[in-house]
């Protein structure tokens, strides 16, 4: 078997131990003579898996019983629409901070159903910086404040939740969840597509303060109501059972790594290693303002963009895959989520130094 070093932004690398366990359990799960994909979501055995996954996620992130945890479908993109539908009444205004492609998409979708107030927009810096807090036009009467703590494409990360007074904070944590400790109590709602730090695509985690579940207007259909999903144990209909099971294995793996504080230390070391190598070189550059550099997605450019193709070809030949930057920004991007070992980042840094030596 040969595994590459996978820098994909998502779906992203999963821990090999998790894949091996799923493989071993696949044909005959827990002695059932069936795979976990082939059992009823309402069976005792699957309910136990589902409950354990939720308990482990609560443990890892320190989620209190004041919050509901939901295992849903639809991706983060569906939550772009459901958050304003569930948390704001018709006529309410919602605050959005725009720091890159994903928060922009979230804001655009919110504007379809509610009144949008863009608090600040980082367009002036081409989304390489976050507008200064004293320029934000916060609305104290907003139904909620939405932001994207980590912009997966631009590599802009806001490391602490902003101070927005009593307005509940809603955060799209798709590409940062489980990468570092967070104080869940600072948030009204957190959502994340699974396909980076949680598990396979097809599963979406929503964590929501229980009082906010009650806000849902009467005209929202049942299947689109967070309250119904929370009350129904995320089993209003058939949930993505395999993805839920696999997420549970990832949560167990994370606990085995020492939990979130331990993984955060690794993530910081990985990010430091890569940013230090970029900053020390005259050949590579990262455009993001230093206080907002992402721990998870590191975009970088080459001093000679005509060498981008050669860089990618030689990287692939060295087993370093999926380093091409998003089509909207170009250049390179290394996504270094939890499952990327520091050795993988070291191999990239060594490759970059050698490429610079032979091409600069």
* Catalytic residue positions, numbered: 102, 172, 196
Shortest distance, position 194 Cβ to ligand PMP, whole Å? 8
Shortest distance, position 289 Cβ to ligand PMP, whole Å? 18
How remote is the C-alpha of 7 from its chain's centroid?
15
Q: Look at strands 145-147 and 156-157 and give their pairing.
A: unpaired
- Binding residues for ligand PMP, per CB under 6 A? 10, 75-77, 102, 148, 152, 172, 174-175, 193
Q: Residue 114 or 146: which CB sits closer to ligand PMP? A: 146
CA–CA distance, 117 with 129 (Å, rounded to integer): 20
Question: How far is CA 74 from each of CA 145, 177, 187, 252, 311, rounded to the nearest angstrom?
Answer: 22, 17, 21, 24, 35
Q: Residue 174 or 241: which CB sits closer to ligand PMP? A: 174
Q: Please identify the residue of the shown chain whose CB is closest to the bound ligand PMP.
A: 75
Shortest distance, position 72 Cβ to ligand PMP, whole Å? 11
Q: Residue 193 or 325: which CB sits closer to ligand PMP? A: 193
Shortest distance, position 147 Cβ to ligand PMP, whole Å? 11
Q: Residue 283 or 295: which CB sits closer to ligand PMP? A: 295
CA–CA distance, 262 with 342 (Å, rounded to integer): 13
Shortest distance, position 171 Cβ to ligand PMP, whole Å? 10
In sequence order, the 6+-apart residues with CB closer than 8 A to the CB of 218 are none
Shortest distance, position 329 Cβ to ligand PMP, whole Å? 13
Q: Look at strands 150-151 and 332-335 and give their pairing.
A: unpaired
In sequence order, the 6+-apart residues with CB closer than 8 A to the CB of 248 are 49, 50, 52, 53, 56
Q: Residue 176 or 241: which CB sits closer to ligand PMP? A: 176
Q: Do 98 and 238 touch, CB atoms closer than 8 A?
A: no
Q: Residue 148 or 338: which CB sits closer to ligand PMP? A: 148
Please name the residue ranges forming H helices in 26-131: 44-61, 75-87, 101-113
Question: How far is CA 151 from each of CA 167, 194, 284, rounded to the nearest angstrom?
Answer: 22, 15, 21
Helix (H, G, I), strand (E, B) or coil at 5: strand
Q: Look at strands 284-285 and 297-302 and give their pairing.
A: antiparallel
Q: Do 230 and 213 touch, CB atoms closer than 8 A?
A: yes
CA–CA distance, 144 with 49 (Å, rounded to integer): 33
């Amino acid at each position: 078997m040969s595994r590459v070093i996978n820098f994909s932004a998502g779906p992203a690398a999963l821990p090999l131990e998790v894949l091996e366990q799923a493989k071993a359990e696949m044909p005959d799960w827990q002695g059932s003579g069936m795979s976990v994909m082939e059992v009823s979501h309402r069976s005792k055995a699957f309910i136990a898996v589902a409950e354990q996954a939720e308990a482990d996620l609560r443990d890892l992130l320190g989620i209190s019983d004041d919050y509901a945890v939901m295992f849903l479908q639809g991706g983060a993109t569906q939550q772009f629409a459901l958050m304003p539908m569930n948390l704001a009444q018709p006529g309410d205004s919602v605050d959005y901070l725009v720091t890159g492609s994903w928060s922009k998409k979230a804001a655009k979708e919110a504007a379809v159903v509610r009144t949008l107030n863009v608090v600040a927009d980082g367009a002036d810096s081409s989304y390489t910086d976050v507008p200064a807090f004293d320029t934000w036009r916060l609305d104290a009467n907003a139904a909620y404040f939405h932001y994207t703590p980590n912009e997966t494409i631009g590599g802009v990360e806001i490391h602490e939740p902003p101070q927005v007074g009593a307005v509940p904070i809603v955060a799209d944590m798709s590409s940062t969840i489980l990468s570092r400790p967070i104080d869940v109590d600072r948030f009204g709602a957190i959502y994340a597509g699974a396909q980076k730090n949680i598990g396979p695509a097809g599963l979406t985690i929503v964590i929501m303060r229980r009082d906010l579940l009650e806000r849902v207007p009467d005209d929202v259909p049942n299947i689109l109501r967070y309250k119904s999903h929370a009350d129904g144990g995320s089993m209003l209909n058939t949930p993505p059972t395999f993805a839920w099971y696999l997420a549970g294995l990832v949560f167990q793996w994370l606990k085995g790594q020492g939990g979130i504080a331990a993984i955060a230390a690794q993530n910081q070391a990985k990010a430091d290693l890569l940013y230090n190598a970029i900053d020390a070189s005259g050949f590579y550059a990262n455009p993001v303002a230093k206080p907002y550099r992402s721990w998870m997605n590191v975009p970088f450019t080459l001093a000679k963009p005509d060498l981008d193709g050669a860089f990618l070809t030689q990287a692939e030949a060295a087993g370093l895959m999926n380093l091409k930057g998003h089509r909207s920004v170009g250049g390179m991007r290394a996504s270094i989520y939890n499952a990327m070992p520091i050795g993988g980042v070291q191999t990239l840094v060594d490759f970059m130094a050698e490429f610079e030596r032979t091409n600069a």
